[in-house]
Amino acid sequence: MSVAITVALTAIVYIVSFPLAWMVLARLVARSASRQNIWWSLAFWRDFILYRLIIFAPYAVLLGLGRWLPSYATKAVWGWVVLTLGLSVVRFTGTDRVVGLLWWLYGYCYDGLRRFYPYRRLLALSIERLDVSDNMRILDLGCGTGNILQELLQDHPHLVAVGVDGSPTMLRQARKKLRQQVALGTVTLIQDDVMAFLRHQTTASYDRIIMVNLLYALPDREGAWRECLRILKPAGKIVATTSDRSGSRQIVAEHLKHDHWWKLLSLRLVATGIIDHFINEFARVDIFQFPNQKKLLGEVAAAGGSYDRVTRCYGGVNILFAVRHAP
């Protein structure tokens, strides 16, 4: 078969197989990071074989139809296939830091969400519910790239704010956005584990605490609520929003209802969507958790808090609510 036809068919198979490959890859990475013994997991090896077959498909077309390939090129292709197979086994059996890598990558593409209507709406609703005024002391847990703090300070420049996140790449973006406030000392950005940070805070030291899409990543949510309520002033308020179910269709549908479809083609937004798919897969193997509304609010009550104004947002997959000290 001609060179042009072979190359064209190889490219078509690659394009078709690419989204299938990363969807299966997400399941593999999640299982390999789940502290389960993957060597004896039939589900892992089933997905591993499927993943390698999908990856091999474009090469199979090239090798099968490319009779014109010189022998050294054929050997190079087979060598690459065998090498990547071996690397895959090593990668999937040594992923202790896979979650840290996920957040590291997320920092480079997260702000693609600023083009996404459901995310902009989520931030607006969270800020409205927070109900801040000048001179308050604000704590943003899981502050990410600083979008919440940036929005708050535009309307309330005299706030004193602290942002905490475990991802260095997220905080790098936040420091760029908030460099003036950081230089003035009105904003402090800290890289730390959320629970470790909370334990070192003074009792009744914050007027407002906000958590946007953080709770699903906390292994001890009830403990986090207790610490947050401890450092919250008596008249203070916590605003939290988190996913309690997986899914993206309804989120995309909300965007298409209110904004232009072509904004979905942003490379950073597409990358964010891929990482969110990984997060969903991590939730399937209990690395992350999407607790249902009843369980989540029960944890608030068990920690001594009182919740109110529970609403849905982000295409309906998130709940948004406020927490205060129980009377």
pLDDT digits (tens, 9 = 90+) for 8-61: 888 888 788 888 887 887 777 777 666 566 667 777 788 888 888 888 888 787
Quickly tell me which residue has 């990547």 as its tokens: 84
SS3 assignment, position 310: strand
pLDDT, position 27: 77
pLDDT tens track for 193-225: 999 999 999 999 999 999 999 999 898 999 999
Could you tell me if 273 and 251 are in contact, meaning their C-beta atoms sit under 8 angstroms apart?
no
Q: Residue 90 has what pLDDT? A: 47
DSSP assignment letter at 307: E
Q: What are phi and psi of 185, to 5 degrees?
A: 90, 5
Contact 153, 161 (CB under 8 A): yes
> How far, in Å, CA of 11 to CA of 220, rounded?
47
Q: Which residues contact 85 (CB under 8 A, 6 or more apart)?
A: 52
Question: Parallel, antiparallel, or unpaired for β 318-325 and 232-243?
Answer: antiparallel
pLDDT at residue 33, as a whole number: 65
Comparing CA positions, the residue from 279, 318, 282 lying closest to residue 125 is: 318
Distance from C-alpha of 144 to C-alpha of 310, rounded to nearest angstrom: 24
Phi and psi, residue 208, nearest 5°: -140, 145
Taking each helix axis from N to C end, the angle separating 221-231 and 293-302, rounded to the nearest 10 degrees, works out to: 50
Which pLDDT does position 45 carry in this prediction?
80
Task: List per-block mean pLDDT (blocks of 10 residues) for the chain, which spans 327 residues.
Answer: 75 83 77 65 80 82 74 67 57 57 85 95 96 94 96 93 95 96 95 95 97 92 96 97 88 95 87 80 74 93 94 95 94
> How far apart are alpha carbons 120 and 307 in whole angstroms?
24
CA distance 161 to 236: 14
- CB atoms under 10 Å from CB of 151, counted, come to 15
Give the C-alpha separation, 324 to 327, whole Å.
9
Residue reference for tokens 């847990």? 141
Whole-number Å distance between alpha carbons of 267 and 319: 28
Q: What are phi and psi of 285, to 5 degrees?
A: -110, 20
Q: Are the C-beta atoms of residues 257 and 238 closer than 8 Å to each other? A: no
State residue 256's pLDDT score: 95
Pick the closest to residue 163 from 151, 173, 153, 171 (CA basis).
171
The angle, 0 to 180 degrees and rounded to 10, between the axes of the packed helices 117-130 and 147-155 is 50
The structural domains of the chain, ordered by start, are: 3-96 (no CATH), 102-325 (3.40.50.150)
CA 43-46-47 angle, to 5 degrees, is: 85
